[in-house]
Amino acid sequence: MEYMNRIYKLDEYSGVLTCDAGCILQSLHDYAEEKGYLFPLDIGSKGTCQIGGNVSTNAGGHHFFRFGGLHGTVVGMEVVLADGRVLRMNVDVSDDDNNDDCTHRFQQSSASLRKDNTGYDLKQLFIGGEGTLGIVTKVAVACPALPTSKNVALLVCNSYSDVLQILKTSKEELGEILSAIELIDSNTMKFVQKYGSGIGDHLISELLSPEAEAADKQPLFILVESQGCDQESDSSKMDAFLTSLYESSTIENGFLAQDSKHIEEIWGIRESCNPSVARAGYVHKFDVSIRIEAYMEVAEEVSDALENANLSDLTVCVWGHVADGNAHINIVSGQCDKDAVVQKQLKICILFSYEEKWLDFCGTRHWTIEAQVHVTNQGWSCLGAHVTDEEFI
């Protein structure tokens, strides 16, 4: 698939970018930016992941809250079915500027249209299909115009009720320019400080105050981003938003990026969460969607389950896209716990909690076992308890 890496074009009027499935996501970001557009999918692994894999796993990313998911932004697709037939759905690379080889050209009368109600929208079956129905070989994605202003703040609060207030106030004060809200808990932030790449360390040191640690506080860190087209107006909105939070004592501390370097540092902290936790020890990962008001209750339930199983020495880390209810829950064992027997015992314990306690919690809190990537083997094993027979297809 890595050889199928051709970017065919970006239509300057519709904003639809058409490319091969093997294109690295970062290259699509760079290409779209050169054309004055923003590629809507943005995830931490964009430097290595391929758009075909993103589509097949229905990746969500940081800007899902602003631009929605791939079910909405993918407007066309080419798929190779198991019997070798090629299914082309609303895709056009007939004006390929990069290669004149006619064997790579095809055209369809409805190619790359944003609206097409001539039949069932078959491409939706392949988004998140993980290759089970066919292999995605080309995609067409609708891209919004490139924002000309960006503001990013990293805020500190003492409780999840404060986080909920930040969510509410951000929608009221920032409105249509609000593009991302990310949460990082204190356990994760400490791992980023200890095992991260070093980017943004001075910010973490300022925000993780010794006083808070001495008082055994567990602060929550919230990244808020706005994107728009009027720097003066957008900055004024961000200032009003932060002022409102300070005056209501919703936040304890915070940092507003003053330039692109600061923005890179703040996002660098967020994107260091996964690799930092991985360096801390053996990790059991869960990617779940939770009703927003119960977001942090899941972490408490997991901690309780581990404590009841005499595994309270493990660390529960939570971060994720809190604005759309997507949480990355990571259970971390220390470097000394890499013995295969310990790993197996730990996995059995966690799977027991997953099937029994977590699914009970699912029924009362309205959450799903897989949020934005795919259903794992553990997920399949207990999916029958999560959905009805009619829903299980």
pLDDT in tens, the chain (393 residues): 888 999 999 999 999 999 999 999 999 999 999 999 999 999 989 999 999 999 999 999 999 999 999 999 999 999 999 999 999 998 876 654 554 444 344 444 445 678 888 889 999 999 999 999 999 999 999 999 999 999 999 999 999 999 999 999 999 999 999 999 999 999 999 999 999 988 888 889 888 877 666 556 789 999 999 999 999 999 999 999 999 999 999 999 999 999 999 999 999 999 999 999 999 888 888 888 888 998 998 888 888 877 877 777 789 999 999 999 999 999 888 765 556 546 655 665 665 555 555 555 555 555 554 544 445 544 545 555 555 666 555
The rounded Cα 319 to chain-centroid distance in angstroms is 10
* Residue matched to tokens 């910010």: 203
What pLDDT score does 215 carry? 56
Element (H, E) at 55: helix 51-57
Phi and psi, residue 327, nearest 5° = -120, 135
CA distance 174 to 171: 6
User: Which strands, in side-by-side order, build the sheet including 326-332?
Assistant: 253-256, 149-157, 220-228, 178-185, 315-321, 326-332, 283-290, 367-368
CA distance 22 to 17: 14
Phi and psi, residue 136, nearest 5° = -70, 130
Nearest to 122 by CA among 109, 105, 134, 108: 134
Nearest to 224 by CA among 299, 322, 371: 322
Both structure tokens of 5 = 């890496």
Rounded to 10°, the helix 340-353/297-308 angle is 120
- Report all structural domains of the chain as residue ranges with CATH numbers, in order of start: 7-142 (3.30.465.10), 149-274 (3.30.70.2190), 281-385 (3.30.70.2740)
3-class DSSP assignment, residue 378:
helix
What pLDDT score does 343 carry? 63
Q: How far is CA 106 from CA 10, 33, 76, 125, 364, in A?
A: 16, 26, 13, 22, 50
What pLDDT score does 106 carry? 40
Element (H, E) at 365: helix 359-365
Read off the pLDDT of residues 10-69 as tens digits, 9 standing for 90 and up.
999 999 999 999 999 999 999 999 999 999 999 989 999 999 999 999 999 999 999 999
Rounded to 10°, the helix 160-174/231-247 angle is 150
CA distance 255 to 239: 12
Q: How far is CA 254 from CA 151, 178, 191, 215, 249, in A?
A: 13, 18, 19, 19, 12
Nearest to 323 by CA among 289, 366, 349: 289
* 178-185 and 283-290 strand pairing: unpaired
> Is 109 exposed, middle or buried, given 0-12, 13-18 or 19+ CB atoms closer than 10 A?
exposed
Q: How far is CA 183 from CA 76, 189, 212, in A?
A: 33, 10, 18
